Amino acid sequence: MNDGAVALKKLAERVLGKGSDVPLAMLLELLVPVKKLRETTAHFGLSPKGGFRLEKAPAHVLAPLLADLRDPKQLDVVLQLLLPPKSAAASAMATADDDEAATEPAVSETAVLANLRAAELVRARDELERAREAATRARERESDVSRRLQRAEQEVTLLRGELQHRSGGAVGPAAPPPAAAGATELLQRVHDLESELEGMVANDETLRRQLAKDHSRLRELEATVAELDALLPKGKRRYKPQPEPEPTVDDRRFLLPRFLPSFYKSLEGKERKSVARAFAAILQFCTEGHAYPGLEVKQLGGQDTWSLRASLGLRVYFRQLPDGEIELLELGNREDQNTTLRRLKER
C-alpha cells in the first residue's frame, strides 16, 4: 500500500469515527509532502517542538505549527499547500484558453478563507449555545438544591423540637430512661437528615463553582464569536436579530427600603456577620426583585407579610407598600418564624 492510499485510509477513518469535521493539521500531515512542510516552516522562521531539528522533523510535528498560524497572509500560504500543483499541460491549456477562462467564475483565496472562518464561527456559536444551556441547567439545579436544603433544615428543626419534648417528660424513680424506642428512632432520623443536609451543602457549593466556570466560558465564547464576526467579509455576515425590549415590570425597578424601629431592635444580640448578610440580602432584593432564586422571596400565612432568605437560619420579614417601597419589619431566626408571624400579625 503506497503513501497516498495510507493517507486516504486515515482520512476515511477520521470521517467515519468523528464526523466530517477534519482539522487543518491533519490535512497538512496527510496530504502535503514533508519536504514542503519543512520549507514552509523554515520560510516563516518557526522551530519544531520536541527537540527535532528542522531538516529531520516529521510531518506530525510540523503540521500543528503551521495550522496554528493566525496571520491571514501566512494562512493563505499554508492553504496553498493543500491545492494540487498545476501540470505543464494544464498550464499550456490555461494559456491557450485564457480569454475563455477569464469569463468563468473562479474561487478566490479570499473566498476560501472566508468559508473557513464562517465554518469556525458556526462551530463557536454552537458551542456558545451549549454553554448557555448548561449554565441554565446549573442554575435550575442550584435552585432545586436550595429548596431541598430548606425543607431538610425545617424537618431537622421539627424533629429536634419533638425529641427535646419527649426527653423532657416526667422522670420518677421507677420511670424508664428517656432514650426509649421512639426517641432512638428520632435520633437516627435527625442524624440521617443532618448527613443529608451536609451533602446538600457540599452539592450546592459544587454547583456554584460549576456555574462560575460556565459563566467564564460563556464570556470567552462571546469574545471569540465577536472576533470571528469582525473577520468575516460583509457579504458573509449574518444579520443579528433585533434585541427584545426589556420587560417593563416592577421587579426590575429599585425598591426603596424603609427600616422600622422594630427592625433595628431585632438586630440587638445578633452577630456582626449575620447583620452584614441581612443587609446584603436586602440590597440584592431591592436591585434584583422577587425572582432572584437565592433569596427565596415568599408571602407568609396569607397576610401582607413577606420573607426573604439572608442565610440558612436567618429570615428578613417585610411588607410591600403601594408606592413601590418596602417596609422592613424584623430580622429573625428561621426556627422562630411562627412566633414572629403571630407577633407581627398583632401589630
Distance from C-alpha of 117 to C-alpha of 236, rounded to nearest angstrom: 10
Res 5: pLDDT: 61
Would you state the pLDDT for residue 92? 46
List, for the chain, all residue ranges whose pLDDT scores fall below the cut of 70. Answer: 1-21, 84-108, 167-182, 234-253, 301-302, 347
Rounded Cα distance between 25 and 4, Å, is 17
Cell triple for 339 = 412566633
Which triple of cell numbers denotes residue 325? 417601597
Q: Residue 31: how many CB atoms within 10 A of its CB?
A: 16
Name the strand (E) or helix (H) holding 50: none
Q: Name the helix (H) or strand (E) containing 318.
A: strand 314-320
pLDDT per position as a tens digit, 137-151: 888 888 888 788 888
Please state, in angstroms and rounded to a whole number, the distance separating the CA atoms of residues 177 and 189.
19
Instruction: Identify any residues that bridge with 319 across adjacent strands, giving them in sequence order.
Output: 305, 327
Q: What is the pLDDT of residue 6?
A: 62
Read off the C-alpha cell for 322: 403601594
**CA distance linking residue 304 with residue 291, whole number of Å:** 18
Q: Where are the alpha helices (DSSP H) in the chain?
A: 3-18, 24-31, 34-44, 59-67, 72-80, 88-96, 98-102, 109-167, 181-231, 261-266, 272-288, 337-346
Q: Which pLDDT belongs to residue 11?
A: 59
> 316 near 245, Cβ under 8 Å?
no
How far, in Å, CA of 310 to CA of 267, rounded? 13
Question: 3-class DSSP state for residue 31?
Answer: helix
Indicate the DSSP class of residue 108. Answer: -
**Per-residue confidence (pLDDT) for residue 214, from 0 to 100:** 84
